[in-house]
Structures are given as C-alpha cells and as structure tokens.
Amino acid sequence: MAQFKDLDPVLHSQLRLALISLLIGVETAEFTYLQEKTGATAGNLSIQITKLKEAGYIEVTKKFRNNYPLTICRITPQGRQKFTEYVKALKEYLNPDQNHKS
C-alpha cells in the first residue's frame, strides 16, 4: 500500500492542488480567474503560484491590458507529469487492494 508520504508535497496542499487541477483543463488562465474559482485571497494565491512556478510546475507570464497588469498562468509539461503521478499515487492510496490485484 502506498503511504501518504509518497504524494508529491508540492501538490499535496489544498490551494496548490486546486490550482494545478484548474490549469490541467485549460491552456491559460488569468490570476483573476484562478482567484474566482478557488476563492483564495490574492496574497495567498500569489504565494502558492510562486511556489508552483519555482517547482517548475507552471509558467507565469506578466502582461499589461489597458494599463492594468495581468498575470497569466499555464501548466508546464513537468507540472502535467507530476499531476498525473500524483493522481496515480492517490488512486493507489485510496484503492490499495484493487491496485494490488491489477
């Protein structure tokens, strides 16, 4: 049976997991969209985006639209790979018997 410690610590956090789960389904998403969907505060969201970026799981692009700054996030191939591994590990953790049989 896989242990909890096997789960990627970068992803095994409420907000970071939510962010990656959102970004896996989209090409790009703006900061405001991520904030609306996760319900997080701007400060907290900013910290978690930075952690994901430093781990190489997401790319962050800064732009301007009508003189307002925009933060655009996109999942990287590494982030996609890590998310797949996380889901696989989670599945093994939740269904240990089933995975041993298969």
Number of residues that this document lists for the chain: 102
Contact residues for 64 (Cβ-Cβ < 8 A; gap 6+):
70
Residues 33-92 within binding reach of other proteins (CB under 8 A): 33, 37-41, 44, 47-48, 65, 87, 90
Q: What are phi and psi of 29, to 5 degrees?
A: -145, 140
Token pair for 27: 């090409």
Measured from the CB atom, the residue of 21 and 76 that comes closer to other proteins is: 21
Which positions touch other proteins (CB under 8 A)? 4, 7, 12-18, 21-22, 24-30, 32-33, 37-41, 44, 47-48, 65, 87, 90, 93-94
